[in-house]
Structure 1
Amino acid sequence: MLCFMPGVAFIPALLVCWSSAAFIISYVIAVLEGHVEPLVPYISDTGTKPPESGIFGLMINISAFLGAATMYIRYLIVEKQNESYFMSPSCNLITLCIGLLGCIGMIIVANFQELSVPSVHDGGALLAFGSGVVYITLQSVISFKSCPQWNSHCTCYIRMAISIVSCIAVIPMIACASLISITKIDWIPGEKDYTYHFVSAICEWTVAFGFIFFFLTFIRDFQEVTLRISTEIHEDF
């Protein structure tokens, strides 16, 4: 069904569906296997032990690739729209670079398990969430700058609302996570640092699905875009 969407809308649509599935499938398997408690584990907790770790790693790697593709196409769209010059071209490029840093963070999270190399894993998570929040905030600003010619006011307000919620949630997510004194995945209500874990995990899920809903707003924009690959063969070779 995604393949029959107009333009290149299938790319952000696939990103949204695939990322949602990655989170949900890993969570369900981890809970059924008894590896995590059902009540709000960290997203990474649901992809730490086999068999869910393999599924989580594979799906998040693909999500990172789809995210990078979506961001690059979005960059090309804004570059084309900006021929009427509503902002500095460097802003669009900087936004893309920050978004790609977030994708690199996702790859680090997917390939360095939480319990195996916690420092690298946590660094990747910080890069992914930090860069992701900055990226969607800058995209919201770009949307307002191109409004009403290229974006409706409704779309701009939705994107900005998602950005604000994500920015607010990422602060307690990082703050509470930094106060946790032990790295573990089998949290039990009432034990030491559980409150910090609980608040941080809720905020993490909020930010993660904030990204998903934000990319969902790209689908309409991508419906009006066609990409072509041009191939040239030089006779000298």
Structure 2
Amino acid sequence: MLCFLRGMAFIPFLLVTWSSAAFIISYVVAVLSGHVNPFLPYISDTGTTPPESGIFGFMINFSAFLGAATMYTRYKIVEKQNRTSYFSTPVLNLVSLVLGLVGCIGMGIVANFQELAVPVVHDGGALLAFVCGVVYTLLQSIISYKSCPQWNSLSACRIRMAISAVSSAAIIPMIACASLISITKLEWNPKEKDYVYHVVSAICEWTVAFGFIFYFLTFIYDFQSVTLRISTEINGDV
């Protein structure tokens, strides 16, 4: 447990544990309340109806904040490493950060605009979160390979790229099948024509979501040897 408290490792550790708890708690409450079918609801389905909507909104908002903090810290780590031993253009690191932060904004939209209340805004936020998140992991995987072996082990690079590849492969059928569903609803009957599309897109959605969680889990080791300091300067006479 102490290894998670070294340096800045607590940030990705907290992100992983908090986000996992957000998904699991919302799912359990929604199922026990009888609001969703236990078999493969969408993640958003488990945060649509009170009381789970309040839990989901609060926890996902904080996950978005933790995600932004993790991405910014990762950006500063790579920036410092790149200055020490140039291995990649700084633009790649910056683009990765910007896309990651846009994905976090998408998470905030998902948390605050419920699926059934404002579906267009909710779906737009989800699209931002998933697409930008997947591209972020791909770019970070490329950066990891470029900085290997000095700053990353080959095994860590392979794990990150594998997670990125699985997430990239899952997001395509997720979007394709979701776009073919003609109605937004919480309860599904296996005999309905869009049921197969729902099942495939839901499987892919959960795959991508937990892909993000496992990806950030790989940052914990890198963050252990990092310390961030805030410098305050006051200009003018005091």
Taking structure 1 as the reference length, what is the TM-score of the superposition? 0.98
Distance 1:236 1:189 in 2: 72
1:116, CA displacement in angstroms? 0.4
Distance 1:142 1:235 in 2: 41
* 3-state SS of paired residue (1:168): helix
Deviations 1:22-79 (A, max 9, x none): 0000000000001000001000000000000000000000000000000000000000
Taking structure 2 as the reference length, what is the TM-score of the superposition? 0.97
- Determine if the alignment matches structure 1 residue 183 to structure 2 residue 184: yes
- Determine if the alignment matches structure 1 residue 30 to structure 2 residue 30: yes
CA contact (8 A) 1:9 1:219 kept: yes
- Determine if the alignment matches structure 1 residue 209 to structure 2 residue 216: no
Deviations 1:74-124 (A, max 9, x none): 000000000111011111101000000100000000000000000000000
Q: Which residue of 2 aligns with 1:129?
A: 130
Q: Which residue of 2 aligns with 1:54?
A: 54
- Determine if the alignment matches structure 1 residue 74 to structure 2 residue 58: no
1:134, CA displacement in angstroms? 0.2
Q: Which residue of 1 aligns with 2:109?
A: 108
Q: Which residue of 2 aligns with 1:169?
A: 170
CA contact (8 A) 2:96 2:139 kept: yes
Distance 1:68 1:3 in 2: 22
Distance 2:3 2:218 in 1: 18
CA contact (8 A) 1:2 1:10 kept: no
Letter in 2 for 1:195: V
Structure 1 residue runs without a partner (length 5+): none
CA contact (8 A) 1:173 1:201 kept: yes
**CA 1:234 to 1:2, structure 2 compared with 1: closer, same or farther past 3 Å?**
farther
* 3-state SS of paired residue (1:150): coil
1:228, CA displacement in angstroms? 1.1
CA contact (8 A) 1:37 1:188 kept: no
Deviations 1:186-230 (A, max 9, x none): 112222201000000000000000000000000000001011111
1:235, CA displacement in angstroms? 4.3
* 3-state SS of paired residue (2:122): helix
Letter in 1 for 2:131: G
Letter in 2 for 1:211: F
Letter in 2 for 1:57: G
* Structure 1 residues 117-156: aligned runs within 5 Å: 117-156=118-157
Letter in 2 for 1:32: L
Q: How much identity, in percent, do the aligned residues show?
A: 77
Letter in 1 for 2:23: F
1:234, CA displacement in angstroms? 3.2
Structure 2 residue runs without a partner (length 5+): none
1:3, CA displacement in angstroms? 9.6
Q: Which residue of 1 aligns with 2:65?
A: 65
RMSD after superposition: 1.2
1:232, CA displacement in angstroms? 2.3
Letter in 2 for 1:77: I
Distance 2:205 2:101 in 1: 20
Letter in 1 for 2:175: I
Which shifted more, 31-40 or 3-12?
3-12
- Determine if the alignment matches structure 1 residue 229 to structure 2 residue 233: no
Distance 2:162 2:181 in 1: 30
Q: Which residue of 1 aligns with 2:86?
A: 85
Q: Which residue of 1 aligns with 2:40?
A: 40
Distance 2:95 2:231 in 1: 26
